[in-house]
Structure 1
Amino acid sequence: MEVVNPATGERIETYEAAGEAAVERTLADAQRAFEQWRERPLAEREELIASAADVLREDKREYAELMTREMGKPVSQAESEVEKCAWVCDHYAEHAHAYLEADHHPSPPGTEVETVHEPLGVVLAVMPWNFPFWQVFRFLAPYLTAGNVGVLKHASNVPGCAEAIEGILREAGYPEGVFQSVLAPSDLVDDIVADDRVRAATLTGSGPAGRAVASAAGDQLKKMVLELGGSDPFVVLDDADLDDAAETGAWARNLNGGQSCIAAKRFVVHTAVYDDFLDRFVDEVESLAVGDPMDEDTEVGPQAREDLVADLHDQVAASVEAGATVVTGGEPMDREGAYYPPTVLTDVPEGCPADSEELFGPVAAVYEVDDEAAAVERANDTEFGLGASVWTADRERGERVARRIDAGCVYVNQLTKSDPRVPFGGVKESGYGRELSEAGMKEFVNRKTVWIE
């Protein structure tokens, strides 16, 4: 595995991919570790995840720079990602006991009936490169604290991040084998899922990858959680605060170089405010600082790989050929590195890539609609259903519209985001299952009913 700095095109590191023998050792170690880890008192597991938060904060800059070198995230955003990882660790250190407390049920006199929450075993996590620390910690913090053990198959362009996370848990005091990274190629994933020692799997990534892993898990009757792509609508109604909506919308589309499943991608704007919003939105987009991701002032860095720039531009070019208008951006930047500028498209025809596909980069598609009903219809006119955002001065109206949008989460007057305190996940082609909060923690436990006569 060769790691290339996307800001410079330079090869910075080479890692040896794991073969079948290494995978076998990893799974054997994981299974052995589970037998003891499951018996570890929950209070001790809470203390360990709290220690992981301490390690993250102690070396925040080191981990941030590693992310930036491997996948191009602006270093200030990478530091924020490390802080968020520490937060999710703090959350489960504080709340795991309450989340996993036994549920008691009505029963006949003299009996006691409860549901207890027991770990399943070895959980495989197939994780993407776009948030190379956060995606992993939002998996490991709840599932390891619940008593499972984890095996991470990370994206091939962020192997340093994968190894660093394993190192963080070792430094925090986790026993050997409780969390392991295996730098396996994708063609070994099906075999790992099929292995009897693996009891469940979670994947964040593309639709094709999700289908492949879900099919393998389904054949073995194993539990899956999938967080796949998104084409999130950002609905601006006629009574919205346009300055706030435009500023937040520009950030919601271009954060992390636009490489986020829950980025705002389709801007659905009421005709009464369309022109005003578009002017303000384009001004905000054009003001974003594009540059060296190691520079603290950079807001948009490179895309993670050169081939991703080519794929994104093909989608933009096909949309323009179909009739879309480029208001700003629209061409790869003439500079060293995998840079694509923040781009705004209008007059987007139905069925073109910008309308029907996920654009995983800093490209916004803006639509004009006549009324609230048309806004909801346009928001739902997608195969995806991950997140959405609604902008209005009327909170009751915002809630009403939010409830009509088909998505796993809808934010009113706020950008779509994941938060340890609330469930996160999608519907339709965006996947199934939930991560984070109590709901996420209980995805990979055996909810065992115990009846005592």
Structure 2
Amino acid sequence: MLKVINPTSGQTLHSYPALDATAMGAIIRSSHTAFGSWCQTSFKERADVLNRVAILMREQETRLAQLMTLEMGKPVREARGEVRKAAWCAEHYAAHAADYLTPLTLQSDARRSYVQYLPLGPVLGILPWNAPFWLAFRFCAPALMAGNTCLMKHDPHVPACAEAIADLFEQAGAPAGILHNLPLATASIESAIRHPLVRAISFTGSSAAGSRVAALAAAAIKPAVLELGGSDPAIVLKDADLELAADTIALSRVINAGQSCIAAKRIIVEAPIHDHFVELLKTRLAAFKSGDPADPTTDIGPLAREDLRTVLARQVDETIAAGARCLLGGYIPEGTGFFYPVTLLTNVRNDMTACREETFGPVAVVLQADNAEQAVQIANDTEYGLAASIWTEHSRGESLARDIEAGQVVINGLVKTDPRLPSGGIKRSGYGRELGPQGIMEFVNLQQVWVGPGRD
């Protein structure tokens, strides 16, 4: 059984049955059967399905958002925004997939030669709990528009969200089997990856789990995209707009109660402005309201699980013990639910726990750098390479971006994912890209076609 604890109350919310091996095999075969006809449909036919699903999501925004609030504690305001963003992703690929996958003519000795982009078959998406709707559509919208079918193995802590996503396709009259909910226990994932009818893997989650998925996919010689953890730097230089930087970095650190791979986690501030910026950041972080995520005035809800809070508390405690100064929060509060207060740590060094490990919660850590060059050095001194932000004059920021070891760099703005732009990491933050024109290319066969007779 997939047992869900309401993170706000700490009480059991509901339980869903997990599939056994027989049921899993039947669903994978159904996905393969559906692929036989879905891959022959036109882009317009596929787009019609995705657009109908998007309309349903917008119409049912309140109900769908409530599922996230109940299962993983997302504040209702953010949850509603996530539903709208997932609908946008579906609409974006419905509108642009045909252009993204236009065959590419290349000159050769052939009468005509080109590359065409063909679907692979059933794609297995292994998804996390922190953005149940957005991450599901980030996976399935491009894959479906490319002509693949999708097997959605969602996190066991959001089974109602997963069921609702699959139901949207049924409500939309989508062809049977193009998107299946695959509610598996963690122990069953390996057999799903190895199944001969599963042709590719998309995984979003921790670096440790991603390493295991990568090994399994490689052993089966299957393509995989991995979007893994991050310890994202936000570099604030002395010529930055400090008010805007403080506003944006504070928001980045508390969105989804800090449970985001691309949140600003290591805030690296140039020495001349360090103390002033810390005060600006502290004021903003202290103003956020923590509480019941169902209350529309709440900014920060609970962490999704008790074990996540335990890990976060250890990371904070170890960092303080190593010499960091705690200006806000830094303790597990009394009461029900898995809440953790907004926490601000200063005097942090890059060798401390909060910098070496990914912190998944509303904990901001500030490091000091003597100059821009040292700030970049600190930013790159990590095993992760997902995203980063730089706060400085824009042309200088663009120049520095080339020196940042990350898959995504934002200059003077909020690091976020956007269906129009590719997203992904390097180093232990993963490989491959999702979203944008590059994302839809990950799960296609780039087939070269040479038409003769050849030319001299």
TM-score tier by shorter-chain length is: over 0.9
**Conserved 8 A contact 2:350-2:367:** no
After superposition, the C-alpha distances for 1:174-223 in whole angstroms (9 at most, x for unaligned) are 11111001111111111111111011001000111111111111001100
Report the alpha carbon displacement of residue 257 of structure 1 after superposing the two structures with TM: 0.3
Judge conservation of contact 1:247–1:284 (CA < 8 Å) in 2.
yes
- Counterparts of 1:167-246 in structure 2, within 5 Å, are 167-246=167-246
How many matched pairs? 451
Does the CA-based 8 Å contact 2:267-2:364 persist in structure 1? yes
Matched residue, 2:57: 56
Question: Do the aligned residues in 2 keep the contact of 1:152 with 1:180 (CA within 8 Å)?
Answer: yes
Aligned residue runs from structure 1 range 141-180, under 5 A? 141-180=141-180
**Is residue 385 from structure 1 mapped to residue 388 from structure 2 by the alignment?**
no
Amino acid at match of 1:396: S
Deviation at 1:41, TM superposition (A): 1.4
Residue number in structure 2 paired with 1:74: 75
1:26/1:168 CA distance change after superposition, 3 Å: same
1:152 is paired with a residue of what secondary structure?
strand
Deviates more, 1:22-31 or 1:346-355: 346-355
The 2-side partners of 1:108 and 1:374 are apart by 52
Match of 1:84 in 2: 85
Say whether 1:37 aligns with 2:38. yes
Q: Which residue of 1 aligns with 2:398?
A: 399
How far residue 350 of structure 1 moved from its aligned partner, in angstroms, is: 4.0
Q: Residue 114 of structure 1: SS of its match in structure 2?
A: strand
2: CA distance, partners of 1:266 / 1:330: 16
Equivalent position amino acid for 2:418 in 1: D
Which position in structure 1 is the counterpart of 2:337?
Answer: 337
Q: Which residue of 2 aligns with 1:444?
A: 443
CA distance in 2, matches of 1:412, 1:352: 26
What's the offset of the Cα at 1:107? 3.2
- Shift in Å at residue 17 of structure 1? 1.2
Match of 2:370 in 1: 370
TM-score (normalised: structure 1): 0.98
Q: Partner amino acid for 1:59?
A: Q
Deviations, residues 142-163 of structure 1 (Å, cap 9, x unaligned): 0011100011111111000110
- Letter of the aligned partner of 2:224 in structure 1? M
SS in 2 for 1:202: strand
SS of aligned partner of 1:313: helix
Post-superposition shift, 1:351?
A: 2.5
User: What is the percentage of aligned positions where both structures have the same residue?
Assistant: 44
Match of 2:18, SS state, is coil
SS in 2 for 1:429: helix
Contact 2:156/2:183 (<8 A) preserved: yes
Report the residue type matching 1:373 in the other structure: E
SS of aligned partner of 1:238 = coil
Distance in 1 separating the partners of 2:361 and 2:350: 20
Instruction: Give the structure 2 partner of residue 435 of structure 1.
Output: 434
Q: What is the CA–CA distance in structure 1 between the aligned matches of 2:350 and 2:238, rounded to whole Å?
A: 23
Does the CA contact (< 8 Å) of 2:253 and 2:362 recur in 1? yes
- Aligned partners of 2:451, 2:123: CA distance in 1, in Å? 30
| Contact 2:115 2:446 survives alignment (8 Å) | yes
| Residue pair 1:324, 1:345 contacting (<8 A) in 2 also | yes
SS at match of 2:405: coil
Q: Which ranges of structure 1 fall in alignment gaps of 5 or more residues?
A: none
- Look up the match of 1:117: 117
Mark the runs of 5 or more structure 2 residues left unpaired by the alignment: none
How far apart, CA to CA, are the structure 1 residues paired with 2:409 and 2:398?
9
Counterpart position of 1:10: 11
Distance 1:334 1:255 in 2: 23
Query: Are 2:94 and 1:93 aligned?
Result: yes
Deviations 1:361-388 (A, max 9, x none): 1111100111010111111111100000
Alpha-carbon distance between aligned partners in 1 of 2:287 and 2:295, rounded to the nearest angstrom: 16
The answer on whether the counterparts of 1:322 and 1:349 sit within 8 Å (CA) in structure 2 is no
Amino acid at match of 1:391: W
1:317 maps to 317
Query: Would you say the 8 A contact 1:324–1:347 is kept in 2?
Result: yes
Superposition TM-score, scaled by structure 2 size: 0.98
- Letter matched to residue 311 of structure 1: V
Aligned mates of 2:384, 2:335 — CA distance in 1 = 34
Q: Which amino acid aligns with 1:436?
A: L
The 1-side partners of 2:301 and 2:180 are apart by 30
State the AA in 2 paired with 1:185: A
Alpha-carbon contact 2:235-2:268 (below 8 Å) kept: yes
Cross-structure match for 1:139: 139
SS of residue paired to 2:433: coil
Q: Deviations over 1:15-70 (max 9, x none)?
A: 11111111111111111111111111121001111111101101001000100000
